[in-house]
Structure 1
């Protein structure tokens, strides 16, 4: 990408073209940089409806943490989330091994190639509470994983956690909630709210006016990074999850395509 990435040191959230939920423009099959799912429901549920079983097994088998994009989220100057190379080195576990390590109140993330990560709250007795298909459910960890590998992700968000009893209580009190009564955009927002209790994880939890206080720093390489500004934590999480689903290589390629397109447009304008 050369010096092109260096030119894209910071973009305003409002300057990004919004894409369709699948990450592609309806009239152009080329990937675009943008924020998906601004008006959608739970973004990791619709995708689960059409997963081919054999493909899912292959994705689970070959999932490589090294293709995860390192990122950090900031509220003003405070780091509130960080996924770095050390986290990737921890690796993932089968649902059986993961269950042996979980404690009530833990946050669990299930991952597979090309899919949105699915988050859940471990509540004990091999069970988790999670947001799936517009419903808050209590399922056995093995069933909630749908064959994906997983890991405990308590340390990704830097907020002070509530006590395990309160985390479990927060999760269990929502079980059975459906559709319009649900005020979380995806499984990650719900699970994080249960553990940290911050209203910012809820839909409408923040007023979207004035200066954009949130920033997301994507570490593209050892020396190159890319920063985006956001008005709400919810918007920021949705864009982060889109990058998680795409993987590091695809995100870097998308940025390169976007920069090339921007340069061509600028050159055409200058010629005129």
Structure 2
């Protein structure tokens, strides 16, 4: 991947060109804008200690409100490969202790809390998960990794055919201890999804960026509105989806509204000159 910048830099919607300044698109309208980034790992807001040592037994559960989840779908050309909506998926969250009663080896697990990037892991059995955390693949107890966050099983969100549970666990365990330059993933979701499905698209540089934008992120908004972004690779798109999850639905709607107001203002200035 050549020289990489260590931190993530996101250009706001107001800095990105669009072809239509008149407002949000309806579900019938096509894609409009793309978003530019310099990429990095996005899990740095997690606590460094996840191995259970010095754990506070009275740790309060971190705030999470499902109503602020950003509903969205991912398309590769015209094929839907990911969908998360309140109406089509059962994404009930649980305490880590209760989730353990529902997990099976090979499951994708997501940890969620307001204002944080979601954290993904592979459940490998014996109350443990394998996950990418602070530029290292680690094997820890699920309850320690949760760090007070709610948990849910997200194995059904991606529409790819999963590998066998044994192969998923093997993929995860074989990467334990990999770190820094050995890593082929920029975030915990890409790593866990690669373990689950074996798709090279989740790896860094897994797809050559040659100007085409075959991936679309459709963000569902209130009153049956939606907005579509285009991306050159699935990896790029996942970074934007995770950023939206981190800031939440209210902030995403506000950001889009500010973008269209800004672009509309610039368009009116040009028309009057």
TM range (shorter): 0.7 to 0.9
Give secondary structure in 1 for the equivalent of 2:101: helix
Matches within 5 A, 1:155-234: 155-234=156-235
Paired with 2:61 and 2:31, the residues of 1 have a C-alpha distance of 33
Size of the aligned set, in residue pairs, is: 243
Confirm or deny: 8 A CA contact 2:91 2:153 kept in the other structure: no
Q: Within the alignment, does 1:10 sit opposite 2:8 as a pair?
A: no
Give secondary structure in 2 for the equivalent of 1:119: strand
Tell me the CA shift for residue 58 of structure 1. Answer: 6.8
Paired with 1:90 and 1:204, the residues of 2 have a C-alpha distance of 31
- Partner residue, 1:100: 101
Residue-by-residue CA offset, 1:148-204 (whole Å, 9 max, x unaligned): 110000000000000000000000000000111101010000000000000000000
Paired with 2:245 and 2:98, the residues of 1 have a C-alpha distance of 23
Paired with 1:90 and 1:210, the residues of 2 have a C-alpha distance of 35
Paired with 1:153 and 1:178, the residues of 2 have a C-alpha distance of 25
- Partner residue, 1:265: 266
Paired with 2:174 and 2:238, the residues of 1 have a C-alpha distance of 24
- Partner residue, 1:253: 254
Give secondary structure in 2 for the equivalent of 1:103: coil
Give secondary structure in 2 for the equivalent of 1:253: helix
Paired with 2:199 and 2:262, the residues of 1 have a C-alpha distance of 39
- Partner residue, 2:39: 39
- Partner residue, 1:64: 65
Tell me the CA shift for residue 9 of structure 1. Answer: 5.5
Root mean square deviation, CA, Å = 2.3
- Partner residue, 1:137: 138
Which TM-score applies when normalising by structure 1? 0.84
- Partner residue, 2:46: 48
Residue-by-residue CA offset, 1:216-251 (whole Å, 9 max, x unaligned): 111112421101111100001000001111111110
Which TM-score applies when normalising by structure 2? 0.83
Residue-by-residue CA offset, 1:96-146 (whole Å, 9 max, x unaligned): 001111000000000000100000000000000000000000000011111
- Partner residue, 1:31: none
